[in-house]
Amino acid sequence: VQPRKGRRDGYHGYIDTDLFDTGVLVEGKAGAGSFVLSARRSYVDLILPAVIPDEVGLGLTLAPRYWDYQALFDYPLPEPVGGELSLRVFGSDDRSKLLFTEQNEVSPDERNSLENIQWFHRADLVWRKLDGPWEFLVTPSYKREFFSASFFGIAKFDVVSDTFSARSEISRMLSKRARLRLGSEFVGSWYTGEASFAALDGAPSPALGSAAARKTDYVRLVPAVYSTLTVRLGDTLHLFPGVRVTHYSDKAQLARTTVDPRLRFIWQIAARTAFKGGVGLYSQGPGLLQGDGQFGNPRALPERSLHTSLAVAQELPWDLSLEVTGFYKRLWNLLSPSADLLRLPGQEPRAQNFANTGTGHIYGGELLLQKPLGDRFYGWLSYTLMRSVRTPAPGEGQRLFDFDQTH
């Protein structure tokens, strides 16, 4: 998904206002390139305190408030470099604080409040060039993010993270029937965090079940290389074999490499009917909390999964198209809470907090009906029926994933 470029036929803009927020956008020509500037600010924090009765006992010291901004700039570079350079800067700030009080309460404190603050700022640079059979892409990016939350004096945590990522690709048409794409990717994450939880069951990590505050810092480096080959066999069959090799390393002790081969295909079995399918391995490193040396398990392994799908696409009268897809996903090495002991060199034994003991299954089907509505628009109607279950550890019963949605 790529953001659209700014218009180059003059200067344009709009103001969009409703009961909750106001947004502004300005775009236009900038030399041989274009720009887009936009911003939005809510004022629901001014409306809610005026409409919620005092007897409800809900004080909004800082009602839900948000603002965001975007700045896009595109410019064609002269030869011999050539290509097009794009700069994208965007960010947002969301915060709220709810104060639950009795009518006669004089001095409420943090035990009566629920507070959340989250903001980020990100800058992307994109250089893309087409040169005959060659295509080049370079995309460095930097993001700084902050998250803070407190819950009725029971729990509080603050996290600041910095992420630098970069991706580069080169592809070439090998023949009229084949194209090869080679790419590399790097993601470096640094964060510092402080958390404290009262001694309660159900903390997100057993290490957090203590009223004492704990601090930690974490570094993770994830380089990867990947390749995809596009091959057309005859006039009806397209194959897309690929592979991704990812290395996970961090400040703790995780140093693992995964190899994930994949294959997709499109088979045009008739003029208006096609089969589509794919199978492939995927991996994901432990979350920052799960792999942390204080709150998680520094020996946690990447989570793994096998994705499979098969679809039938049918063109219908009246410019309609129907696609029916069945899918199945098997997962293993899932991280689950664990109180087993972890022994690290030079450290006292402690709970490992998380272990790769979980397995899971996700399966279902999707129906997608589409219709073009001109050169740039189309309408669609989709329905998905699925089920996602996991087993936290051997011998335990199955349960639904936290975000399972049947429909």
Give the tokens for residue 3: 């953001």
- Amino acid identity, residue 126? V
Pick from 41-45, 196-200, 223-227: least confident: 196-200
Highest mean pLDDT among 89-103, 109-123, 178-192, 348-362: 178-192
Phi first, then psi: what are they for 77, rounded to 5°?
-85, 145
Helix residue spans in 22-108 (DSSP H): 44-51
44 touches 30 (CB < 8 A): no
Contact partners, residue 327, CB within 8 Å, separation at least 6: 307, 308, 309, 310, 362, 363, 364, 365, 366, 386
pLDDT of residue 78: 92
Task: Give the residue, 122 or 55, on which the prediction is more confident.
Answer: 122
Flag whether pLDDT at 90 surpasses 60.
yes
48: left (phi over 0), alpha (psi -120 to 50) or beta: alpha
Contact partners, residue 128, CB within 8 Å, separation at least 6: 83, 84, 86, 135, 136, 137
Flag whether pLDDT at 202 surpasses 60.
no
Question: What Å distances lie between residue 219 and 148, 164, 175, 196, CA to CA?
Answer: 20, 11, 43, 21
The arithmetic mean of pLDDT across residues 322-328, rounded, is 97
Helix residue spans in 102-158 (DSSP H): none
Q: Percentage of residues in the chain with pLDDT exceeding 70?
A: 85
Give the tokens for residue 106: 């004089």
pLDDT of residue 106: 44
Q: Percentage of residues in the chain with pLDDT exceeding 90?
A: 57
389 touches 361 (CB < 8 A): yes
Task: Give the residue, 144 or 375, on which the prediction is more confident.
Answer: 144
Q: How far apart (Å, rounded) are the C-alpha atoms in residues 135 and 137? A: 7
Q: Which domains does the chain have, with CATH numbers?
A: 154-400 (2.40.170.20)
69 touches 105 (CB < 8 A): no
Element (H, E) at 198: none
Q: For 339-380, how does the pLDDT look when each residue is reduced to its tens digit (9 = 90+)?
A: 888 887 777 888 888 999 999 999 999 999 999 887 777 889
pLDDT of residue 29: 94
Distance of CA 164 to the CA centre of its chain: 15
The beta-carbon contacts of 173-178 under 8 Å, at least 24 apart in sequence, are 173/133, 177/231, 177/232, 177/233, 178/229, 178/230, 178/231, 178/232
What's the farthest any 2 CA atoms get from each other in the chain? 80
Phi first, then psi: what are they for 42, rounded to 5°?
-90, 160
DSSP assignments along 4-16, one per residue? PPPPSSS-EEEEE
pLDDT of residue 219: 86
246 touches 258 (CB < 8 A): yes
pLDDT of residue 261: 98
Q: For 223-265, how does the pLDDT look when each residue is reduced to its tens digit (9 = 90+)?
A: 999 999 999 999 999 999 999 999 998 765 667 899 999 999 9
- Amino acid identity, residue 171? S
Flag whether pLDDT at 117 surpasses 70.
yes
